[in-house]
Structure 1
Amino acid sequence: MARIFSWAAQDSERLTTVAGLRGSKGRHGAFAQVTADTAAEAAAAEAAGIEMIVCRARSVAAVRQGSQRLFVTAALGFAEAVTDEEILRTAFKALTDGADAVITARRLPIVSLLASEDIPVMGHLGFVPRKSTWVGSVRAFGKTADEAVELYHRFRRLEEAGAFAVEAELVPAPLMAEISKRTGLVTVSLGSGPGAEVMFLFTSDICGETDRVPRHARRYGDLVRLHRQIDEERRAALTAFRDDVRNDGFPAAAETADMAETALEEFVSRIGN
């Protein structure tokens, strides 16, 4: 456990820090990272021994209610922060709410802008879902030698821009291992094999909250089944309530308040017919 001062100048403890992540360079799978946007999800991650989470910038305060110890990276949304000024304001708000770093897939000058303020910045390379039109489909990026060389140079430029880490998504595992040992960036693997310092999966995939799990993910739970059971129980309960109302079965004596008959008679007498 590391003692630090947060960006809000609060004496805090963290399961890891930027320095700790950098110190793990070369230790594959040294840390685990998941997603969280609620206090409950953050609390569950900490209880499970997870060290790192990613959340939306607007969710940092809620996440910190669930865990004060996780290393939190705030995702700067494309629509919420567009101009340089908005990006800086959003980043600093997330940090003062409790984030330890930010992640962005924006242009390199944005990375440099943030890094120039000593903000720990994580980039996003490989397959970037919101930019997938450029690669034409949902697929691994870097499977050809040309793509691999291009990707390697993107890693280098990202590091030169001032990022301390990079989320590498759907990069072929052998390529990820080679690039990871050639970059000073802390590498975070999302579907990019074991050759990175941080292993990352979405909580929704881990817990089985969707019917379809991506090829690179692994389902460890089955919350879909529980959600369906909850939906069925909800519909059954509401149907039973409506039936009772229709058939004069609700409310019954147990669900109503009574009064003395003499009091009721006095009430009627006093107000008249």
Structure 2
Amino acid sequence: MSTYTIDTATSRATPSPAPMKRLTAPAIMARKSGEPIVALTAYTMRMAQLLDPHCDLLLVGDSLGQVIYGLPSTIPVSLEMMCAHGAAVVRGSWHALVAVDMPFGSYEEGPEQAFRSAARILKETGAAAVKLEGGEAMAATVAFLVRRGIPVIGHVGLTPQAVNALGGYRARGRDEAEAKKILGDARAVADAGCFALVLEGVMEEIAVEATRSVACPTIGIGASVECDGQILVTEDMMGLFERTPRFVKRFGDLAAEIGAAAAAYAADVRTRAFPTSEQTYQPWT
């Protein structure tokens, strides 16, 4: 549960959180056409600690299925997995709003199922919001949740949970009919009460028009710099994987650094250069 308190005197969970007021859904909503919203994914307590001072929004994305568990898509991700990682991210943060993805199969059946799933997520994690995929077909569900006190982030365009129906992970909105549908989807979920809207993998002109036509902030990923904010999968942005999606800019090369550190450790172990007296317990220490 999110009420678990880490003993920072004995835990690796340092530095200790600095007391401050966490951002809220209304605060994010108020950023429309203002200071850009900085968002990243987080799946673990320690990563949340490192990202939190720099982010307005931490998303516990169902992308954890691929990033953490090595699954082929987000579809196998369970509600239990999302709750466990969501709680860890809440424990590791104190500034950013934490939102948790609702996994495939946990909300599509109808508003009542969605409410049960969302209520469980908020209760078990301490997060402030949920995110769900889908456009006009999900508008009634979004409205149902919002009327019952659950802040919702929408997600339209390339929706990974619908990859089987979409036929792959290509950019959306290349033809006029699809572009019109994406814009209609964006307006529908925004009008239903979303406080923010993720636009993923859409042609830039669609992202620009959607941003200008909805009341809530848009958060782009493979969309446009004119969105009200941006989000990336942290592990992609930090260079932890060999493949980099077209819409990702690498801001680091952690894979190379981790590999080099592991190689240096292995060399010291094999040559008995580690541990030394500095890393072992002696009578005089």
TM norm structure 2: 0.72
1:261 aligned residue? none
CA distance 1:13–1:81, change in 2 (3 Å): same
1:235-254 counterparts in 2 under 5 A? 235-236=266-267
Verify: 1:54 aligned to 2:59, yes or no.
yes
Larger radius of gyration, structure 1 or 2? 1
CA offsets, 1:30-51, max 9 Å, x none? 111001111211111123x211
Contact 1:57 1:75 in 2 (8 A): no
CA offsets, 1:63-88, max 9 Å, x none? 12221111111111125677666643
RMSD after superposition: 3.0
CA distance 1:99–1:12, change in 2 (3 Å): farther
**Shift of the alpha carbon at 1:234?**
5.5
Which 5+ residue runs of structure 1 have no aligned equivalent? Answer: 1-6, 242-254, 256-273
Distance in 2 (alpha carbons) for counterparts of 1:88 and 1:134: 25
Contact 1:32 1:52 in 2 (8 A): yes
2:76 aligned residue? none
Q: Identity over aligned residues, as a percent?
A: 26
For this pair of structures, how many residues does the alignment match? 234
Verify: 1:99 aligned to 2:127, yes or no.
yes
1:193 aligned residue? 224
CA offsets, 1:82-120, max 9 Å, x none? 766664344223323321110011551432332231211
1:3 aligned residue? none
CA distance 1:238–1:142, change in 2 (3 Å): same
Q: Which moved more, 1:200-209 or 1:89-98?
A: 89-98
CA distance 1:83–1:236, change in 2 (3 Å): farther
Task: Give the residue type in structure 2 aligned to 1:59.
Answer: H
**Shift of the alpha carbon at 1:238?**
6.3
Task: Give the residue type in structure 1 aligned to 2:186.
Answer: F
Distance in 2 (alpha carbons) for counterparts of 1:225 and 1:185: 39
Contact 2:48 2:93 in 1 (8 A): yes
1:24 aligned residue? 31
Verify: 1:203 aligned to 2:237, yes or no.
no
**Shift of the alpha carbon at 1:202?**
1.0
TM norm structure 1: 0.75
Q: SS in structure 2 opposite 1:224?
A: helix
Contact 2:28 2:195 in 1 (8 A): no
2:213 aligned residue? 182
Q: SS in structure 2 opposite 1:181?
A: helix
CA distance 1:130–1:82, change in 2 (3 Å): closer
Contact 1:57 1:77 in 2 (8 A): no
Q: SS in structure 1 opposite 2:153?
A: strand
Contact 1:91 1:102 in 2 (8 A): yes
CA offsets, 1:119-139, max 9 Å, x none? 111121101123123333322
**Shift of the alpha carbon at 1:192?**
0.4
Task: Give the residue type in structure 2 aligned to 1:207.
Answer: M
1:105-254 counterparts in 2 under 5 A? 105=133, 107-108=137-138, 109-233=140-264, 235-236=266-267
Q: SS in structure 1 opposite 2:21?
A: strand
